[in-house]
Amino acid sequence: MTETKNAFYAQSGGVTAVINASACAVIETARRHPDRIANVYAGRDGIIGALTEDLIDTGREPAAAIAALRHTPSGAFGSCRYKLKGLEQNRAEYERLVEVFKAHDIGYFFYNGGGDSADTCHKVAQLSQQWGFPIQAIHIPKTVDNDLPVTDNCPGFGSVAKYIAVSVREASYDVLAMARTSTKVFVIEVMGRHAGWIAAAGGLAADEDNDIPVVILFPEIPFEQDRFIARVQDCVARYGYCCVVVSEGARTADGRFLAEQGTRDAFGHAQLGGVAPVVANLLKQGLGYKYHWAVADYLQRAARHLASQTDVEQAYALGQAAVELALAGHSAIMPTIVRTSDSPYRWEIGRADLAQVANTEKFMPRDYISADGFGITPACRNYLQPLIRGEDYPPYRDGLPDYVRLQNVPVTKKLANGFELP
């Protein structure tokens, strides 16, 4: 005999264009099983909502609002950058989570995030068991950085990749048209501090019909100034212009980030952030070219208007699978994307043990980066291409995407004691 329990869902870390599609799937799938899942409570601002007993009753949202999550970027319930410490350092946090889950009869814990949240999810599954209140904890992958192991790719990445590939293509058309008398080099800075997956997507801008000279600076390849300048000079000589895609994590062999060049403002304060202007200045000093630079920053990960259809479908499928796996009795696992064919692209849902996932980062394989370190290989293209495929436009009203804002009605608190965040 199976019991009816409540489910807890939380979003963790940087939000994406499609994390709400996973939330949509969790809630819609749970609603199809009222005999097993009575309510889905979401954490307000992620796991902080669980620690402070600040839960959102998703049952108060009409079906249309939940459906609209599928086309709404960002985290509808709020997310946070809050990593639970290790058990030795802060046992109180885990105890508090279990206390809140007990009070609200939570039997399912769905945690939607990256590597850190996979670790938290894993610990909750283990500890709740030990402490006599078993919770089925399922992790739903999400990260624009695409750096989770086991799964072929991570929801959120495909849409960022599409945004960067499209933006580089569009900017390249612009620069080409003007290069004779104006800008010759365009530099765009992209996310991905540790892994170059997003930077690699810039390489997709060029294909057999679009002979676009793209030079990529990966975090995986130590930056060598002279080689870089020579490469850009060569592109300008051959094509008349050059597009540079630089990862925010680009660094020299001694590990120093290019973004931290010791630039100072007029008051002597360190100038924070922005590797694009640093690279543009290097080129200006080295070659004298007129340049322009862009920093896409949050625009790239929030750009639901240009989401990849593959990405949206996978984000939804993983949320749905998480609930179905929980209902089938699983815990301490993460549903994954398994690629079964490159061409035609085919994928299915698999699963990974959270012990394999937690705290492991997946970097770009060296054979995805061209020998000279400035481009992507055909193997990389085969990997990336299906992930940006298909368009999944949101509805528009008066020229703007019609994104939903939920009411986010709080669940009545049941615990007398609060919880002080450290």
- Residue 19 near residue 75, CB atoms below 8 Å: yes
Site for a copy of itself in 182-241 (CB under 8 A): 182-183, 186, 188, 204-205, 207, 209-210
CB of 79 to a copy of itself, least distance (A): 5
Binding of residue 75 to a copy of itself (CB under 8 A) = yes
Using alpha carbons, select from 155, 131, 134 the residue that is nearest to residue 143.
Answer: 155
Site for a copy of itself in 141-160 (CB under 8 A): none
Q: What CA dihedral angle connects 230, 232, 237 and 242, to 10 degrees? A: 180
CB of 204 to a copy of itself, least distance (A): 7
Residue 405 has a CB neighbour count (10 Å cut-off) of 9
CB of 284 to a copy of itself, least distance (A): 7
Residue 88 vs 254, nearer CB to a copy of itself? 254
Query: Candidates 29-37, 56-64, 80-88, 93-101 — which segment interacts with a copy of itself by CB under 8 A?
Result: 80-88
CB of 171 to a copy of itself, least distance (A): 5
Q: Judged by CB under 8 A, which of 151, 305, 352, 362 binds a copy of itself? A: 305
Q: Which class for 92: exposed (0-12), middle (13-18), buried (19 or more C-beta within 10 A)?
A: middle
Q: Which two tokens stand for residue 212?
A: 């676009």
Q: Which class for 34: exposed (0-12), middle (13-18), buried (19 or more C-beta within 10 A)?
A: exposed
**The residue count for the chain:** 422
Query: Can you tell me the distance from the alpha carbon of 333 to that of 353, in angstroms, rounded to the nearest whole number?
Result: 5
CB of 105 to a copy of itself, least distance (A): 26
Secondary structure class of 371 (helix, strand, coil) = coil
- For a copy of itself (CB under 8 A), the number of binding residues is 85
CB of 12 to a copy of itself, least distance (A): 11
Query: Can you tell me the distance from the alpha carbon of 140 to that of 227, in angstroms, rounded to the nearest whole number?
Result: 41
Give how far the C-alpha of residue 176 lies from the chain's centroid of Cα atoms, to the nearest Å. 31
Residue 204 vs 369, nearer CB to a copy of itself? 204
152: annotated active-site residue: no
Q: Judged by CB under 8 A, which of 125, 148, 175, 354 binds a copy of itself? A: 175
Q: What sign does the CA torsion over 319, 340, 365, 238 have?
A: negative
CB of 275 to a copy of itself, least distance (A): 12
Q: Judged by CB under 8 A, which of 7, 10, 15, 66 binds a copy of itself? A: 15
Binding of residue 342 to a copy of itself (CB under 8 A) = no
Q: Judged by CB under 8 A, which of 343, 399, 417, 420 binds a copy of itself? A: 399
Residue 92 vs 294, nearer CB to a copy of itself? 294
Query: Can you tell me the distance from the alpha carbon of 106 to that of 102, in angstroms, rounded to the nearest whole number?
Result: 6
Look-up of token digits 């939804």: 316
Residue 38 vs 294, nearer CB to a copy of itself? 294
Query: Can you tell me the distance from the alpha carbon of 307 to that of 160, in angstroms, rounded to the nearest whole number?
Result: 8
Binding of residue 45 to a copy of itself (CB under 8 A) = yes
Helices (H), 358-396: 378-384
Residue 59 vs 401, nearer CB to a copy of itself? 401
Binding of residue 70 to a copy of itself (CB under 8 A) = no
Q: Which two tokens stand for residue 362?
A: 């997946």
- Residue 180 near residue 147, CB atoms below 8 Å: no
Residue 34 vs 298, nearer CB to a copy of itself? 298
Q: Judged by CB under 8 A, which of 174, 239, 356, 408 binds a copy of itself? A: 174
β-pairing, 333-342 vs 55-57, is: unpaired
Residue 221 vs 276, nearer CB to a copy of itself? 276
Q: Judged by CB under 8 A, which of 6, 22, 39, 74 binds a copy of itself? A: 74
List the catalytic residues: 145
